[in-house]
């Protein structure tokens, strides 16, 4: 249909006509919802705050954004009525940040217009709800396919029977629901036959009977987590008959042993992931029985289990598809590592973190055939030297992740090889190593690097860090904890060359001043900032961070003695996304602490040894900060605060932690490292 042009009075100029036409006719209305939703998806991916700005443009944009939103993660339960009425098409409701979710809250969810669209709800950190709230939820939200009830330690079998009414449920997490027994599990097994994933981690009331009921009734199970359950070998035959089972976690199942596994006639052919961490009673004998016929197994975790010997390695030869092996905390032998290298030639991930017995001979023999390796973790393998690094870097040139914290015998020259040969690295952890500026200069060739950890690296300086800033523009995470050679020029190089930085830790880099913070204030995506133990930082620098980094959600300024109330006021005004703050040993007083009440997102606060803080000021701040869920205080305040205050805050879902630490003087970085090495030995 042709639109008619509005009549225009004679003498009206063209500019006025165009302005009037634009006001009367919104070109944005020509776009379909699908196109507008695609634009909003793009905005949300680049910066979630942009979608909020979009909704504030005009009423039509506000309504479009309301229809578009599919995921909600409110910070406070009292926001639920307003946001549920605004967003009618929510498919996933994450309440893990709301500790106080009552039966009334769940009833409210079940009555809203989004009840029909709701498919997933996360209650993993919530408390105060019971059977009746869950029953109301599942009866009215018939399309629910995912429910996370982890850590709901108050729930009993009655609550499990309510969950059983969710007939379309496919995924259920019950981690640490210690009061649920086999009777409740039986209700779930009968009512939720479409289950594809269930986690019973630390459900100490669930035994072999409950597991067998799930295995018999829920034939479509793909993922089963039995971590730390008091189960025995009796439940295994039923589990292994699940023809679609892909992920099986038996971590800490001490009742399962070699005798029971050896009696099995066959393994599970459909398995793709098996976790047998901390299964002290299972050796290569039982493992061989469990994985027999499991030719599709891709990921195997045996952390903190039996020794990695030649016999255990030989049992892996029946796994041609194996891509990931995690042996963290195990005692390993060189013969075992050599055999793994020869038998498992398609590995993409290998983790030997904190393994005892890793030597140059064993590790070099293992990696020399692993040309497809993408991830390698050799954290705390303290016996390896540059020999291992030479073999790793010459063979595993496709590495995307290398973690080698505290490999203290590796000399500084070896780190040059990492940069020369492993150009595809995205994650590199060199914490507590001998790397120097030449090593950093070499590593700067890794243009894809997004995460770099250089904590307790005492040989690096601004010169080396400037190379990282110049060539690693994709860096989003940088850890410089206790790397005392780093000062303002190094941080300036990072701020200038890495505009997408989201996390930086420069704690105990004692020569850092406000200049570093002013330079970092231009990094608008910064979310986590840790500068504890930097005595030269003042409120001026903190104010710059508050003004420039509006996405900041975690702040640690412990032992920044020159930060006072003057730094808190800009935070209270500009840092509206701040969720966690540590203020211990600063010069903040009652006034500064109370000003933080204007940050509605604030959930966690640590306050130890604030000389200017009084009991009355603390009480006022705690009452005013309505979203607090965790407060860490010095024990001296406990008798000074009224009991009614604690009861009121705990009823809101707040948890108190008390510390009785005396004031501690800061050690020189070199002395601190020597103390750490003494503890490690």
Average predicted confidence (pLDDT) for the chain: 91
Judged by average pLDDT, the poorest of 49-58, 277-286, 420-429, 641-650 is 49-58
Judged by average pLDDT, the poorest of 15-24, 192-201, 470-479 is 15-24
Q: Which two tokens stand for residue 306?
A: 């039996």
Whether residue 435 contacts residue 404, with contact meaning beta carbons closer than 8 Å, is answered with no
Distance CA 149, CA 355 (A): 34
DSSP state of 617: H
> What's residue 46's pLDDT?
72
Distance CA 492, CA 484 (A): 16
Averaged over 322-343, what is the pLDDT? 96
Distance CA 570, CA 563 (A): 12
Averaged over 227-246, what is the pLDDT? 95
User: HSE (CB half, 13 Å, CA atoms) of 241?
Assistant: 13
**In 227-312, beta strands by DSSP E:** 247-249, 273-275, 299-301
pLDDT for 365-378, tens place per residue? 999 989 999 999 99
Distance CA 335, CA 326 (A): 17
Whether residue 53 contacts residue 42, with contact meaning beta carbons closer than 8 Å, is answered with no
Angle between helices 360-367 and 386-395 (to 10 degrees): 0
Q: What are residue 80's phi and psi, to 5 degrees?
A: -55, -50
Q: What are residue 607's phi and psi, to 5 degrees?
A: -130, 100
DSSP state of 3: P
pLDDT for 501-522, tens place per residue? 999 999 999 999 999 999 999 9
pLDDT for 64-79, tens place per residue? 888 888 999 998 888 8
Which of these, 344, 292, 341, 288, lies nearest to 315 by C-alpha position? 288
Which residues face 92 on adjacent strands? 71, 120
Q: Which two tokens stand for residue 239?
A: 């589990």
Distance CA 327, CA 311 (A): 15
Helix (H, G, I), strand (E, B), or coil: what is residue 577? Answer: coil
> What's residue 10's pLDDT?
47
Q: Which two tokens stand for residue 461?
A: 């300086």
Q: Which two tokens stand for residue 408?
A: 């203290």
> What's residue 669's pLDDT?
58
Which residues face 538 on adjacent strands? 562
Q: Which two tokens stand for residue 401?
A: 């992740």
Q: What percent of the chain has pLDDT over 90?
A: 79
pLDDT at 485 over 50: yes
DSSP string, 417-468: HHHHH-TT-SEEE-TTS--BHHHHHHHTT-TT--EEE-TT-TB--HHHHHHH
Which of these, 300, 307, 301, lies nearest to 280 by C-alpha position? 307
Distance CA 462, CA 89 (A): 51
Whether residue 210 contacts residue 182, with contact meaning beta carbons closer than 8 Å, is answered with yes
Whether residue 175 contacts residue 150, with contact meaning beta carbons closer than 8 Å, is answered with yes
Please state, in angstroms and as integers, the Cα–Cα distance from residue 628 to each residue in 271, 601, 631, 653, 678, following that order.
43, 9, 7, 8, 39
Confidence of residue 18 (pLDDT cuts 50, 70, 90): low
Q: What are residue 287's phi and psi, to 5 degrees?
A: -60, -40
pLDDT for 287-324, tens place per residue? 988 888 788 999 999 999 999 999 999 989 889 999 99
Neighbouring CB atoms inside 10 A of 60's CB total: 12
Cα dihedral 545, 549, 555, 561 in deg (nearest 10): 0
Which of these, 235, 170, 226, lies nearest to 201 by C-alpha position? 226
Confidence of residue 1 (pLDDT cuts 50, 70, 90): very low
Neighbouring CB atoms inside 10 A of 638's CB total: 13
pLDDT at 25 over 70: no
pLDDT for 156-203, tens place per residue? 999 999 999 999 999 999 999 999 999 999 999 999 999 999 999 999
């Amino acid at each position: 249909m042709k639109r008619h042009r509005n009549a225009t009075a004679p003498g009206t100029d063209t500019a006025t006509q165009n302005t009037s036409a634009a006001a009367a006719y919104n070109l944005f209305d020509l776009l379909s919802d699908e196109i507008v939703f695609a634009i909003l998806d793009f905005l949300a991916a680049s910066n979630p705050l942009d979608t909020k700005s979009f909704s504030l443009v005009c009423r039509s944009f506000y309504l479009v954004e309301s229809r578009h939103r599919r995921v909600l993660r409110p910070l406070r339960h009292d926001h639920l009525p307003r946001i549920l009425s605004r967003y009618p098409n929510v498919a996933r409701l994450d309440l893990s940040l709301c500790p106080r979710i009552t039966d009334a809250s769940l009833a409210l969810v079940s009555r809203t217009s989004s009840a029909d669209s709701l498919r997933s709800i996360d209650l993993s950190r919530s408390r105060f709800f019971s059977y009746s709230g869950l029953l109301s939820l599942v009866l009215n939200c018939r399309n629910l396919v995912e429910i996370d009830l982890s850590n709901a330690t108050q729930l009993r079998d009655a609550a499990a029977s309510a969950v059983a009414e969710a007939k379309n449920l496919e995924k259920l997490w019950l981690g640490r629901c210690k009061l649920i027994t086999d009777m409740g599990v039986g209700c779930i097994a009968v009512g939720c036959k479409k289950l594809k994933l269930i986690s019973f981690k630390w459900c100490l009331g669930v035994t072999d009977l409950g597991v067998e009921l799930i295995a018999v009734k829920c034939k479509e199970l793909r993922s089963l987590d039995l971590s730390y359950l008091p189960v025995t070998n009796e439940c295994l035959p039923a589990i292994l008959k699940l023809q679609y089972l892909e992920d099986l976690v038996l971590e800490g199942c001490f009742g399962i042993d070699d005798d029971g596994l050896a009696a099995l006639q066959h393994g599970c052919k459909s398995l793709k992931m098996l976790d047998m961490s901390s299964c002290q009673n299972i050796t290569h004998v039982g493992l061989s029985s469990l994985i027999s016929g499991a030719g599709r197994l891709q990921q195997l975790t045996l952390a903190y289990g039996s020794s990695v010997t030649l016999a255990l390695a030989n049992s892996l030869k029946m796994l041609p598809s194996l891509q990931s092996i995690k042996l963290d905390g195990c005692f390993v032998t060189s013969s075992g590592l050599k055999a793994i290298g020869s038998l498992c030639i398609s590995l993409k991930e290998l983790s030997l973190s904190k393994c005892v017995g890793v030597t140059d001979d064993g590790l070099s023999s293992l990696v020399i055939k692993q040309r497809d390796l993408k991830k390698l973790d050799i954290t705390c393998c303290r016996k390896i030297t540059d020999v291992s690094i030479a073999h790793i870097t010459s063979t595993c040139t496709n590495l995307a992740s290398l973690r080698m914290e505290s490999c203290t015998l590796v000399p500084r020259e070896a780190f040059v090889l990492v940069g020369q040969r492993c150009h595809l690295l995205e994650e590199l952890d060199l914490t507590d190593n001998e790397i120097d500026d030449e090593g950093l200069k070499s590593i700067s060739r890794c243009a894809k690097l997004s995460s770099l950890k250089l904590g307790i690296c005492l040989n690096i300086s601004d010169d080396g860090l400037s190379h990282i800033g110049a060539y690693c523009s994709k860096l989003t995470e940088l850890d410089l904890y206790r790397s005392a050679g780093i000062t303002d020029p190094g941080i300036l190089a990072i701020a200038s060359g890495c505009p997408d930085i989201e996390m930086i830790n420069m704690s105990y880099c004692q020569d850092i001043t406000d200049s570093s913070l002013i330079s970092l204030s231009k990094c608008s995506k910064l979310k986590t900032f840790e500068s504890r133990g930097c005595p030269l930082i003042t409120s001026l620098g903190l104010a710059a961070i508050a003004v420039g980094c509006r996405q900041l959600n975690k702040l640690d300024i412990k032992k920044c003695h020159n930060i006072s109330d003057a730094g808190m006021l800009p935070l209270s005004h500009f840092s509206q996304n701040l969720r966690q703050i540590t203020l211990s040993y600063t010069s903040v007083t009652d006034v500064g602490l109370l000003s933080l009440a204007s940050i509605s997102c604030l959930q966690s606060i640590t306050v130890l040894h604030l000389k200017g803080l009084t009991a009355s000021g603390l009480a006022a701040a705690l009452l005013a900060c309505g979203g607090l869920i965790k407060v860490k205080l010095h024990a001296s305040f406990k008798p000074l605060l009224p009991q009614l205050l604690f009861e009121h805050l705990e009823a809101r879902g707040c948890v108190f932690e008390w510390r009785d630490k005396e004031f501690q003087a800061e050690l020189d970085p070199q002395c601190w490292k020597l103390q750490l090495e003494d503890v490690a030995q």
